[in-house]
Amino acid sequence: MRDNRRQDKDTTNKEQILALLRNAVIEKPEAMFKDIDLRTDTWKPILEEDGNAITFVQRFKDMGGIFIYLENEAELGECLKQLAPQNGWDTLWCASQEIQSLLEKYGVSYVSEMPDRSANTRIVSIIPGDYLIAQTGSIIVTDGHAGSRKSYTESDILLVVAYTDQIVGGLKEALQKLNKELSDTKASQAVIITGTSRSYDIEQENIQDVFGARQIAVFLMDK
């Protein structure tokens, strides 16, 4: 008798749940955000007097990036020769053929294969940037130009070589340009990098150096 009552109760509960589900499907709830503006740009506008270049530098540095401006590629070579011993970069890793040619031209030593992490506590890689986004201070890189996905996902210190004509205003413009170029390259992945490694634990405490590069530097030159 007791089991029958429990079974009847369970059946009633199931019927109530099914009824609620049927009503939810039939009755469309009123849109909670019907007045939301989907057309207006929500990003902080770029000031006309600053332009894309200055805005990128400011917002990139705000996100923890290191910015170095150089007049030409020769200055890049000399800069890297000085920075490597100053910062204890025993090995400079470069998988990009484009940047390899540049390093060889100016006598900067490098390795083309990823260093052994057990032997080198800090992996320093140098790659070309595809686009620099002024709105967010972000960098877009592709595996086609970088030569290896690991060169920007496994490195502790990431050095990005870019030129002033690669700076764009916003993400939409960058993706439009990138879409045209990817069809002509062997790239299979594009990544947007915004600032150095940051994550948050369950108590919302900021933890750095867990995923991604702990330091990012952009070497910007005129062509």
Map out the domains of the chain with their CATH numbers: 50-221 (3.40.50.10420)
What mean pLDDT is reported for the chain? 83
- The H or E element spanning position 142 is strand 138-142
**What is the pLDDT averaged over residues 91-99?**
95
- Residue identified by tokens 């170095």 is 68
pLDDT tens by residue, 65-79: 999 999 999 999 999
pLDDT tens by residue, 159-178: 999 999 999 999 889 988 88
Comparison of pLDDT for 72 and 43, the residue scoring more:
72
pLDDT of residue 201 exceeding 70: no
Q: What is the largest CA-CA distance in the chain?
A: 92
Comparison of pLDDT for 96 and 120, the residue scoring more:
96
- Residue identified by tokens 């800090």 is 122
> Nearest 5°: phi and psi at 63?
-90, 10
Q: Is residue 94 within 8 Å of 127, Cβ to Cβ?
A: yes
**What is the pLDDT averaged over residues 184-204?**
70
